[in-house]
């Protein structure tokens, strides 16, 4: 179990073991990697560049939420050959919702086909970035989520998985 303080001052617990924090997962995070060497990120209108993710709707499974959020925020329709890997569960306190468990996945996609985004949604586009391109972005263009210690842990784990 890893504990850290996020950028809002909140305490976060993270584990790389599924369900160690419980099974009531409320949010998901997707770290999409395309085998061309690019990471698929979205640009949130308010927060900036980040990986896709969001809340699980009451009638959805975790997996259904991943598929929906990825489509809503990037226009991507996952294919049967895309490889899903559980990365981590992490728990934090939300001011409105209380205790939240978020589940993070790495999704390795063989290809990326650009598709139109749903209209009137919270993203303004997608970014296909190599790690080097990401590291050259201005910090001000990144979502605060991308600056968090937990995101560094998740991204490092995703990169480790891809190398093997």
99-136 pLDDT per residue, tens: 999 999 999 998 888 777 767 677 788 999 999 999 88
DSSP 8-state code for residue 73: H
Identify the domain containing residue 96 by its residue range.
2-163
- When pLDDT is averaged across residues 143-163 and rounded to a whole number, the result is 92
Query: Rounded CA gap, 37 and 104, in Å?
Result: 20
DSSP 8-state code for residue 55: E
- When pLDDT is averaged across residues 35-39 and rounded to a whole number, the result is 95
pTM comes to 0.92
- The 3-state DSSP class for residue 70 equals helix
pLDDT at 114: 78
Question: Token pair for residue 102?
Answer: 């978020």
- CATH at 132: 3.90.79.10
DSSP 8-state code for residue 117: P
pLDDT tens string 50-87: 999 999 999 999 999 999 999 888 888 899 899 999 99
Mean pLDDT of the chain: 91
Total domains in the chain come to 1
Query: Rounded CA gap, 111 and 64, in Å?
Result: 21
Kindly tell me if the per-residue pLDDT of 95 is higher than 70: yes
């Amino acid at each position: 179990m890893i504990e850290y303080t996020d950028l809002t001052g909140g305490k976060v617990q993270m584990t790389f073991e599924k369900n160690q924090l419980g099974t009531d997962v409320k949010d998901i995070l997707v770290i999409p990697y395309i085998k061309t060497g690019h990471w698929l990120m979205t640009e949130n209108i308010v927060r900036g560049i980040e990986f896709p993710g969001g809340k699980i709707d009451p009638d959805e499974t975790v997996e259904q939420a991943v598929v929906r959020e990825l489509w809503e925020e990037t226009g991507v329709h996952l294919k049967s050959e895309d490889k899903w890997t559980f990365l981590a569960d992490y728990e934090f306190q939300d001011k409105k919702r209380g205790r939240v468990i978020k589940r993070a996945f790495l999704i390795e996609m063989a290809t990326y086909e650009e598709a139109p985004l749903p209209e009137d949604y919270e993203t303004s586009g997608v970014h296909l970035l190599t790690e080097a391109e990401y590291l050259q972005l201005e910090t001000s263009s990144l979502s605060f989520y991308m600056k968090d210690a937990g995101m560094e842990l998740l991204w490092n784990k995703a990169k480790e998985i891809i190398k093997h």
